[in-house]
Structure 1
Amino acid sequence: MRCLLFTLLYLLSGAALAASAQPAKAYLSLIIDDLGQNPARDSRTLALPGPVTLAIMPDTPHASDFAREAHRAGKTVILHMPMDPATGPYAWHPGTPLPELERRLDAALAKVPYAAGINNHMGSRMTAEAGPMAWLMSELQRRDLFFVDSRTSAATVAARSAQNASLASVSRDVFLDDVRTTEAIAGQLQQGIALARKQGSAVLIGHPYPQTLEVLERELPRLKAQGIEWIEIRQMIAERSNRAMTGHGRNGIYK
């Protein structure tokens, strides 16, 4: 009898420890990139329920109009800033003088009114440039804007530069639609949900592809029933307190 009692106590204590290891909350934030190109896709994205962050490209025909429409709808707008290997009149490239980078940033922000922050469009080469990234973060600090590192490359130093500058920032955890099938996108969304449960939060980035929007229209209303609290990106920044998740750094410090 005594042995059975000890066994039960051991199992209960193990279950309690396992439960305590899980975060008390599971937060999720969602960003949709590459907006401003197509009014029909933009409108469908705007109609998604909840606090979707809308990342608008400056070199698109509807950038300014859609930014104003999204702002009126109460959505958070951010500038989806082109960075090398992206091309175009606003794109940042390694070796470009800082005054020209500043001119392009100014011009891009003027095209996307009401931008509360920026994230990088492409940028696998540019976000690896320590000098320009350090300048960018100090400049965003001066302008009272935040930064989201899309993490298009493992070599990115953008999030680390933001952290060093004490800039309000956060990093992407999961891309939803590298594979453009509804099955793959639904799987990525479930991966994001599992990650939020494991580490307490997850930041997801998707695009206005028909397959992505189909999955989100179906699944976003179900998040609450799955125990997921869907929060606005600025709340996510506050929740993470500029600390790196384990997949991006160690002891809260970005690599």
Structure 2
Amino acid sequence: MLRLLATLALLTCLAAPVSAGKIAIVIDDIGNHKNDLKAALLPGNVSFAVLPYTPYARAFALRAHHQQKQVLLHMPMEAIENDRPGPGVVTADMSNAQIKLQLVNALDSIPYVTGVNNHMGSKLTQLPMPMQAVMETLAARKLFFIDSRTSEFSVAEQIAGQFGVRTSRRHVFLDNEVDQNYLQQQFDQLLRLAKRDGQAIGIGHPYPETLSFLKQHLPELQKQGIELVFVSELTQATNQNGYLLPVTSAK
């Protein structure tokens, strides 16, 4: 009997698929257009970053939750060259109290938020004091932070680690261009990073071309041994040696 059980256990292990890595995909800029609602129908564990105070923000969050997806707040933050990040933006000239209030109000405007990533923010994410206010707020709510890495000089992950906020970063932008060749190139790069480093995070947008591409290719991941997970699963509490993956060109 023991030999039979051991044989069955061995066969079970051999039959189990070997994971070649994990990827998370975050769809940013959700909420401005009614067509964004269709993004919630993407297959698998896709995460969505919703802009606060946009016409379809709340409706999308409700639909995404119903579809068992993950919802993030896509928090507008001050950029270096763009002065229109959107309503609710956090800027460098705000006090810590103002930043915290702005962030709390944005969080409260969208149901089922589990974490935050930055919308723009190439200026704000470089500044320790404003990011401390952001991370203090997220720590109090036990939310994670994904650094979209719109600046190579971002201190967001470092500050998150100081406050015990689980964090990670974007490794690939999937759709700076939306022709099929470019989408395939970026998607392949995401998979290569996941296979090399065990995990990788890609960010896309609710463009029709992007959604169509992902609808076609996400169901094929399992055949390649790639697991699609919610972005929260790829966050860590601290920045450890060797944790950070290489970053591709910023958006």
> Structure 2-normalised TM-score?
0.84
Give the match for residue 99 of structure 1: 97
Structure 1: distance between partners of 2:37 and 2:126: 30
Say whether residues 1:60 and 2:54 are aligned partners. yes
* Alignment RMSD: 1.8
Give the match for residue 245 of structure 1: 244
Give the match for residue 231 of structure 1: 229
Q: Percent identity?
A: 37
Contact map agreement 1:52 1:232 (CA 8 A) in 2: yes
Give the match for residue 36 of structure 2: 41
Could you tell me which of 23, 27, 49 is aligned with 2:22? Answer: 27
Q: Does the residue aligned with 2:25 lie in a helix, a strand or coil?
A: strand
Say whether residues 1:150 and 2:145 are aligned partners. no
Q: Deviations over 1:55-79 (max 9, x none)?
A: 1000310111211121122111010
Give the match for residue 80 of structure 1: 74
Moved more, 28-37 or 99-108: 99-108
Give the match for residue 204 of structure 1: 202
Give the match for residue 10 of structure 1: none
Give the number of aligned pairs. 224
Gaps in structure 2 of 5+ consecutive residues: 1-17
Q: Deviations over 1:29-49 (max 9, x none)?
A: 110000111222322x11110
Contact map agreement 1:169 1:237 (CA 8 A) in 2: yes
Structure 2: distance between partners of 1:89 and 1:222: 38
Structure 1: distance between partners of 2:94 and 2:238: 32
Structure 2: distance between partners of 1:105 and 1:24: 37
Give the match for residue 4 of structure 1: none
Structure 2: distance between partners of 1:34 and 1:144: 23
Structure 2: distance between partners of 1:219 and 1:141: 35
Q: Deviations over 1:164-204 (max 9, x none)?
A: 22211111111101122121011100000011111111111
Say whether residues 1:69 and 2:67 are aligned partners. no
Q: Does the residue aligned with 1:117 lie in a helix, a strand or coil?
A: strand
Moved more, 149-158 or 134-143: 134-143
Higher-Rg member (1/2) = 1
> Structure 1-normalised TM-score?
0.83
